[in-house]
Structure 1
Amino acid sequence: MAKYDKADLERRMKGAVEALRHDLSGLRTGRANTALLDPITVTVYGSQMPLNQVATVSAPEPRLLSVQVWDKTNIGPVEKAIRSAGLGLNPINDGNNIRLPIPDLTEDRRKELAKLSHQYAEKARVAIRNVRRDGMDALKADESKKEIAEDERKRGEAEVQKLTDDQIKALDEVAAQKEKEILTQ
């Protein structure tokens, strides 16, 4: 059992919130967001590569993504990867670039995306609770090894609980903001 380290617990909890932010950035709203294409991998040169390693993705307009493929021979595989990614995007190949108009979301799709954002948030909450449990276990282990006294353990547990509450609150704010963005675009 590791020794109690508040800084490490805080770093791990904040990491869960950041992971949630990253996951949510890939969820599609009515606006063009380059992070939408982050999970896409393309089969080029005989291997799978992330899209951002074979092309530049930009958002020149609020409802348009532009993908500029560096090696023109890879335009076909990039277009195919985007089409088969299940994002509901229809790539338009103009010979040099691939344009991706972002269609309006239907009400059903909005609800589906909101539900997905809830799942991401719950996964992050579980991660934070696991870090909390690790901290509590470390405090109890330190007390049983006689490295800290009972009142120090209780003080430490209160610190861990406050840290957990703060990070869950931050996580809920991030999730609520994304849900509002999804439902009102």
Structure 2
Amino acid sequence: MLKRYIFLLILGSVTTLAKAQTADTVLLNKLGDFDMATLNDDSYGAVMAGQRILPDTAKLEPKARIAFFAKLAKVFDDVEQDADAVIYYEKVAAAEPNYFVVQRALGYLYNDRAEDIQLKLYRTPTTDPSYPQIADVYKKAVLKALPYLEKAQACDPDDDTLDLIKTLYLNTGDKKGLQSLSSRLPAMAKHCVDLLDDK
């Protein structure tokens, strides 16, 4: 009886291990399909492959999961699915706030939203009762974009990004923010990450 019990226990362990390895193999194959699609610049194929991986991301090690989210966000960005791109860029930014590549991407995506509101603001007469409300929404959208743009600028200076930051401060009438920019950027540049560690 004891021998039979030990045999069943070992058999159960082997079966569980085989199932775990099969599940891991399936996930690895999905990740391989995703990587192959991104390497071949097949953005739509990468989106499809990435979406098949999403239900299994809890099985990935934390750093591998964040690296996957960064790649998936970029793929969504490439196919102009901005809302999805923001979701996964935000996950990466929360896990690695010094990774300036994601900071720049988020800054520009949030600026795109601000520009849409700014266009509405330009089309609205200043005498219109809704003008102050639209102006306030625009300012909030700018304030969402600026921290990301500034972190990216601090870590990887770029004339276009700097011009955009200055323009956003001017558009919202924030002279103090603009004046303190040059003193704030060096402090933000102290901790910059340009590559994600996926292991």
Higher relative strand content: 1
Higher relative helix content: 2
Bigger Cα Rg: 2
TM-score (norm 2): 0.26
